[in-house]
Structure 1
């Protein structure tokens, strides 16, 4: 339970999977409570680091890929119904964005029965919504070999157009315009 009127973090993370379909998003409720938003913000980075490094079996949390942290304030002590509200950060946002910051994904590699590695997709979930920014539109060569995944976003700063990757096949990528 969190003390009435105190603040806590909810951390949105990508969880490794063997394919984009099995990779999932999870929310991990923070481990601490804070008397003020300022104190909470001072410790959020440390809290995310601790969540990634601590777990009962040493596997799950260390491979979570942080996406965002949402600051919540309790209205009353928890019973069976959560009583919280989302609080803006000191930057005026509803969350702290970790996607382009110092928390690299360390997703493990799984193995097929024959011993060959299968890449996991937590990093792809994390990177999917970090837009590529360029002075031009994407082309067929902006593909999987460059790290783009289906769902990647591209912003053309010259024409102010936004694109989404629909197919990241090497040499034959398909990008659709989604905003102009």
Structure 2
């Protein structure tokens, strides 16, 4: 995939992920590009889209990994744009690295020193996964809840077992 195919996508402070399909066989379609948001990275969004597509098409659960690899051309290209429009480091985060390893996908990304890495994350010279700010905040919160003996979901405002019954005085027929 050439940089010129990313040109119409250049938006500031965005991360894009696209399949590593060869342009001769599949072509690059704009609909195959995933973009990050405040909830999920582009790589995981692209992989989860392929997994959902496999389930919709009736692919058996033990064949989903092969379907995802085939659909994504064996890998994912990641490109990050900074606020000034320049390209930034696009090494995968910890959760994305876990998904890329789970489906045994290759990755093409730009490293901090400006070099391009292309290969599997198990290859020598692969970039180490990074913990994002949101992941670091959640881990800090989770460890503090563990030290206090709380359930992190309940502490975050989850529904406790006693809250599901509703108010005891309403809707009674006496």
TM-score scaled to structure 2, two decimals?
0.30
| Greater strand share, structure number | 1
TM-score scaled to structure 1, two decimals?
0.29
